[in-house]
Amino acid sequence: MVTPKVEDYLKAVYRLQDRDTPAASSEIASAIGVKPPTVTTMLQRMDDDGLVHYESYQGARLTTLGERQAIKVLRNHRLLELFLTEKLGYDWAEVHDEADVLEHHLSEKLVKRIEVLLGSPAVDPHGEPIPTADLEIRECETQQSLAECQEGTVAIVSEVRESSADVLSYLTNSGISLGTELEVVETAPFGMITCEVRTTEKPLSLPTGVAADIYVSRPAEPAENERRQYNEA
- What percentage of the chain reaches a pLDDT higher than 90? 84
pLDDT over 70 (residue 226) = no
* Spatial distance between the Cα atoms of 3 and 231, rounded to a whole number of angstroms: 32
Q: Which residues contact 69 (CB under 8 A, 6 or more apart)?
A: 2, 7, 10, 51
Which pLDDT score is estimated for 136? 94
Closest CA to 164 of 112, 218, 98, 97: 97
141-197 residue pLDDT tens: 789 999 999 999 999 999 999 889 999 999 999 999 999 999 999 999 888 999 999
Sheet with 214-217: list strands edge to edge: 144-145, 214-217, 154-160, 181-187, 192-197, 202-207
2-38 residue pLDDT tens: 899 999 999 999 999 988 899 999 999 999 999 999 9
State how far the alpha carbon of 102 is from the alpha carbons of 76, 79, 98, 107, 201, in Å.
8, 11, 6, 11, 39
| Mean pLDDT in residue range 93-111 | 96
- Inter-residue contact 220 to 231 (CB < 8 Å): no
Domains (ranges, CATH) in the chain? Answer: 4-62 (1.10.10.10), 70-139 (1.10.60.10), 144-227 (2.30.30.90)
- Inter-residue contact 208 to 192 (CB < 8 Å): yes
70-92 residue pLDDT tens: 999 999 999 999 999 999 999 99
pLDDT over 90 (residue 224) = no
33-47 residue pLDDT tens: 999 999 999 999 999
* Spatial distance between the Cα atoms of 8 and 161, rounded to a whole number of angstroms: 17
Which pLDDT score is estimated for 220? 54
Mean pLDDT (the chain) is: 91
